[in-house]
Structure 1
Amino acid sequence: MESAYFTHVWGRENVTVRERYEQLWQELEAADRLGFDYAFSVEHHCTPHESWMPSPAVFCTGAALRTERIRVGPMGWVPPLRHPLHVVEEVATLDQLLGGRLEVGLASGVSEQPFLPFRADFAGRKVLNRECADLLRTALTAEGPFDFDGPAHQLKNVELSFGARQRPHPPLWIPTTDRNTLRYLARTGGHTSSTMIVPRAAMGLVYRHYIDWWREEGQPGLPRIGYWSLVHVAETDAEAEARAAEQVTDTFVNTLRYGSVKRSGTPAAPASRLSTPDILAGSGDFRFLMDQNLVFVGSPRTVAERIRAAASEGLFNTVLGEFAFGDIAGAESIASMELFSREVMPLLAEFTPYQPEQTDESHVAVSRTTGIRVP
């Protein structure tokens, strides 16, 4: 199990943009020092109530200047908003600045709203996203000038000023649970991720196929599969919940603006029977989120147990933890990261959720601490 520091760089009242970014650089320095494997951010536009990160290049450049070992990237660039050659050139430049530590996430986009100011093609976003991935591989593996014939962009006799540091190219991620896209990723050696609003039972089913396809293609090892959620660690469960409860629900309801959807099931339905509308509708109820193990809040042992249980169901092997949310920021979020690094990471270090030989319930126990099923 690997661990990522994830940030939307959410804006805050009474904090300037410069101050918010200085908090970000301090958090990145801490993630680097504490042994997190990755640092990921987003590309969001025109969202004053939410993310203040419109530029993955700024995030990666800041990380290049303030970190030494952690792998860094967006999760991800939104290629449909620009010419894909712009993304290719940024990838090459940032990988050089980072000394070969860049991870490349490409996100097709979920909502049409961010596409409107750019008059970008929302309907064709998935085609454009894959086209960008294809162009990245073509351009960064070329020795000299190259041609490219994509569904929307055609290039003839183009030569980059310089290539990426990593060969043949930096690792690629496309967040998805779409089977066709996962087949494409298995064929091309790309990684993926999802979020806590996607039911983990469905994730586990489709990601098991993805892993099988990966192996059928002869790819080395296992693909990286990320899972995003909010994380807060304190010395005790009571302390963590008391501090995080209001900040968790405020983030989901007022920042991300979940919660306007009606549940399709019952509030007490087990996570295996939840739908995305159920999760969204329950996002303003902290007890619902905890009971369904949708956020990772508690003491180090509790958080480790929660992650193990969630990963066993959803088959993810990389925690994309958002530690700075609501008014939990700066030194407080870093203190949570420190506990996670010191006491949670060691408990997860040897854990892998993909165990194809386990086909029955005899390998599952129930934690006395949390009541959560863990392998």
Structure 2
Amino acid sequence: MRFAYFTHVWGRENLTVRQRYEELWKELEAADRLGFDYAFSVEHHCTPEESWMPSPTVFCTGAALRTERIRVGPMGWVPPLQHPLHIVEQAATLDQLLGGRLEVGLASGVSDQPFRPFGADFADRKERTRECADLLRTAFTSKGAFDFDGPVHRLRDVTLSFGSEQSPHPPLWIPTTDRATLRYLARTGGHTCSTMIVPRAALGVVYRHYVDWWRKEGQPGVPNIGYWSLVHVAETDAEAEARAAGQATRTFVETLRYGAVRRSTDRPAPASGLSTADILAGCRDFRFLMDHNLIFVGSPRTVADRLAEAAREGHFNTLFGEFVFGDITGDEAIGSMELFARGVMPRLAAFSPYQPLETAEPSVAVS
């Protein structure tokens, strides 16, 4: 299993933007030092109450200056908001700055809210996102000038100033549960991810198909499949829950606005059990989140066990853990990351949700 430090770079009233970014660089340095595999950030626009990260290029540049080994990337750039050639050039530059450590996430978007200020077309977002991935592969695998014919953009006789450090190109991710997009990713060797608001039983079904398609396409190994959620680790379950309970529900309800959804009592339950609406509505209840294993809070042993159980159900092999949320910040958040690195990561390093259950037990015991 792989582990990503993930951040929305949530703002806080008592900090300036510069102060929040200084904290961010310390978090990145800690993730690098502690052995996390990845560091990812979002591209969010015009959300003062939520994310303060409108440019993942800034995130990646800061990481290039502050880290040595961790792989870094946007999760992701939103291609419909700009010309895809801009993303190609930024990716080439960042991969060079990072010495070949760039991961390229391309997010089509789930809401039209960030599209409206730019006058961008929300309806064709998936088409434009795939086009950007195709252009990136074309540009980085071409020797010299290239042409490109996409569904939206047509380029002729384009020569990049320089290409990527990685050959043929940095790894590509598109967050999705859409079957057509997953078939496209399996065919092209791209990775994917989702979040805790999508029922894991449903994720397990579609991602099992994705892994099967990947293998049928003759791709090596298995794809990386990420799963985002909040994480807090303390020495004991009681200590972790006492710290995280109010901060987790506050993050979901006040920051992400998930709690605005109410459960419907006049419809049958889906075959998978929970629906996304159920999860969104339940985000205001810490016990609901814990009982359904939607966040990972507890001692190192508890978090490792809960994470393995969730990965088996959701068929994911990479945790996108958000350790900085609510008032869990600074040294407290980094302390949680340290306990996670020391007590969870070694236990699950050899774990894979694709192994038979009887052979998938963690290989390292944690006291």
**Short-chain TM bin:** over 0.9
Q: In the alignment, which residue of structure 2 is the partner of 1:329?
A: 329
- Matched with 1:22 is 22
Partner residue in 2 for 1:249 = 249
Distance 1:271 1:250, change over 3 A: farther
What's the counterpart of residue 296 of structure 2?
296
Equivalent residues in 2 for 1:196-235, closer than 5 Å: 196-235=196-235
1:22–1:278: structure 2 CA closer, same or farther, 3 Å change rule? same
Q: Does 1:309 align with 2:334?
A: no
Where does residue 258 of structure 1 map in the other structure?
258
CA contact (8 A) 2:353 2:360 kept: no
Letter in 1 for 2:258: Y
CA distance, structure 1, for counterparts of residue 360 and residue 275 of structure 2: 24
Specify the alignment match of 1:60 in structure 2: 60
- In structure 2, do the counterparts of structure 1 residues 291 and 364 end up closer, same or farther at CA, with 3 Å as the change threshold? farther
Q: 1:111-150 alignment to 2 at 5 Å?
A: 111-150=111-150
Return the letter of the residue paired with 1:13. Answer: E
Corresponding residue of 1:369: none
Q: How far does residue 194 in structure 1 lie from its aligned partner after superposition?
A: 0.3
Question: How far apart in 2 are the matches of 1:281 and 1:248?
Answer: 14
Q: Is the 8 A contact 2:282 2:289 kept in 1?
A: yes
User: Aligned to 2:114, what secondary structure does the other structure show?
Assistant: helix
* Contact 2:351–2:360 under 8 Å retained in 1: no
Q: Distance in 1 between matches of 2:89 and 2:271?
A: 42
Counterpart mapping for 1:47-196 below 5 A? 47-196=47-196
Q: Structure 1 residues 244 and 350, CA, compared in 2 at 3 Å: closer, same or farther?
A: same
Which one-letter code corresponds to 1:297 in the other structure?
Answer: V
Distance 1:265 1:3, change over 3 A: farther
For residue 77 of structure 2, give the secondary structure of its aligned residue in structure 1. Answer: coil
Secondary structure (helix, strand or coil) at the match of 2:76 reads: coil
CA contact (8 A) 1:199 1:271 kept: no
3-state DSSP class of the match of 1:194?
strand
Contact 1:270/1:292 (<8 A) preserved: no
State the match for 1:343 in structure 2: 343
Whole-angstrom distance in 2 between the partners of 1:155 and 1:332? 49
What letter corresponds to residue 62 of structure 1 in structure 2?
A: G
Q: Conserved in 2, the CA contact under 8 Å of 1:264 and 1:275?
A: no
TM-score, normalized by length of structure 2? 0.96
Give the Cα–Cα distance (whole angstroms) in 2 for the partners of residues 56 and 92 of structure 1. 14
CA distance in 1, matches of 2:54, 2:73: 14
TM-score for the superposition, normalised by structure 1: 0.94
Displacement after TM superposition at 1:262 (Å): 2.2
For the residue of structure 2 that corresponds to 1:40, the secondary structure is strand
The aligned amino acid for 2:12 is R
Contact 1:38–1:71, Cα closer than 8 Å, also in 2: yes
What is the Cα deviation at residue 271 of structure 1?
Answer: 10
> Shift of the alpha carbon at 1:272?
4.2
Is the Cα–Cα contact under 8 Å of residues 265 and 274 in structure 1 kept in the other structure? no
CA distance in 2, matches of 1:238, 1:271: 33
In structure 2, stretches of 5+ residues that fail to align are 362-367
Residue 364 of structure 1 deviates from its aligned partner by: 10
For 1:347 and 1:274, the matched residues in 2 are separated by 29
Q: Is the 8 A contact 2:283 2:289 kept in 1?
A: yes
Identity of aligned residues (%): 79
Letter in 1 for 2:211: I
Distance in 1 (alpha carbons) for counterparts of 2:270 and 2:7:
29
Letter of the 1:109 counterpart: G
Give secondary structure in 1 for the equivalent of 2:115.
helix
Q: What letter is aligned with 1:20?
A: R
Structure 2 distance, partners of 1:222, 1:350, is 14
Cα distance between partner residues in 2 of 1:272 and 1:120:
35
Contact 1:201 1:271 in 2 (8 A): no
Residue pair 1:200, 1:271 contacting (<8 A) in 2 also? no
Q: 1:235–1:272: structure 2 CA closer, same or farther, 3 Å change rule? A: farther
Query: C-alpha separation between the residues in 2 aligned to 1:292 and 1:91?
Result: 38
Deviations 1:274-311 (A, max 9, x none): 00000000001000000000000000000001100000
Deviation of the 1:14 alpha carbon = 1.1
Q: How many residues align?
A: 359
Question: Per-residue displacement from partner, 1:84-124 (whole Å, max 9, x unpaired)?
Answer: 00000000000000000000000000110100010001011
Q: 1:3 is paired with a residue of what secondary structure?
A: strand
Code of the aligned partner of 2:179: R
| Residues 68-99 of structure 1: per-residue CA shift (max 9 Å, x gap) | 00000010000000000000000000000000
1:10 matches 2:10: yes
Contact 1:207 1:315 in 2 (8 A): yes
Calculate the aligned-residue CA RMSD, in Å.
1.6
State the alpha-carbon separation in 1 of the partners of residues 43 and 74 from structure 2.
7
Amino acid at match of 1:285: D
